[in-house]
Amino acid sequence: QTHPHPDVERVLLDEQQIRDRLAELGERITADYADEPPILVGVLKGAVMVMADLARQVDLKVEMDWMAVSSYGSGTKSSGVVRILKDLSADITDRNVLIVEDIIDSGLTLKWLLSNLRSRGPRNVEIATLLRKPDAARVEIDVKYVGFEIPNEFVIGYGLDYAENYRNLPYVGVLERSIYED
Ligand code: PRP
Ligand code: MN
Ligand code: MG
Residue 178 lies in a domain: no
Q: Residue 180's CB: how many other CB atoms inside 10 A?
A: 13
Residue 7 lies in a domain: no
Residue 25 lies in a domain: yes
Answer whether 159 contacts ligand 1 (Cβ < 6 A).
no
Q: What is the pLDDT of residue 5?
A: 97
Answer whether 46 contacts ligand 1 (Cβ < 6 A).
yes
Angle at the Cα of 51 (from 85 to 92), degrees rounded to 5?
A: 60
Answer whether 129 contacts ligand 1 (Cβ < 6 A).
no
Residue 181 to residue 87: CA distance in whole angstroms: 34
- What pLDDT, in 10s, does the model give residues 67-105? 998 775 555 566 667 889 999 999 999 999 999 999 999
- Residue 102: domain span: 15-153
Residue 20 lies in a domain: yes
Tally the domains of the chain. 1
Ligand 3 center to 108 CA (angstroms): 13
Which residue among 71, 132, 152 is best mutated to probe the pocket of ligand 1, counting the most ligand atoms within 8 A of its Cβ? 71
| Residue with CA nearest ligand 1 atom 22 | 46
pLDDT mean over 164-181: 97
- What pLDDT, in 10s, does the model give residues 7-60? 999 999 999 999 999 999 999 999 999 999 999 999 999 999 999 999 999 999
Q: Answer yes or no: is pLDDT of 180 > 60.
A: yes
More confident residue, 1 or 48: 48
Residue 47 lies in a domain: yes
Residue 122 to residue 95: CA distance in whole angstroms: 5
Nearest to 101 by CA among 25, 143, 50, 162: 50
Residue 3 lies in a domain: no
Q: List the catalytic residues.
A: 105
Residue 62 lies in a domain: yes
Atom number, ligand 1, closest to the C-alpha of residue 78: 13
Confidence category of residue 158, pLDDT binned at 50, 70, 90 = very high
Residue 167 to residue 172: CA distance in whole angstroms: 9
Answer whether 157 contacts ligand 1 (Cβ < 6 A).
no
Residue 175 lies in a domain: no
Side-chain-side CA neighbours of residue 114 (13 Å): 17
Q: What is the CATH number of the domain that holds 66?
A: 3.40.50.2020
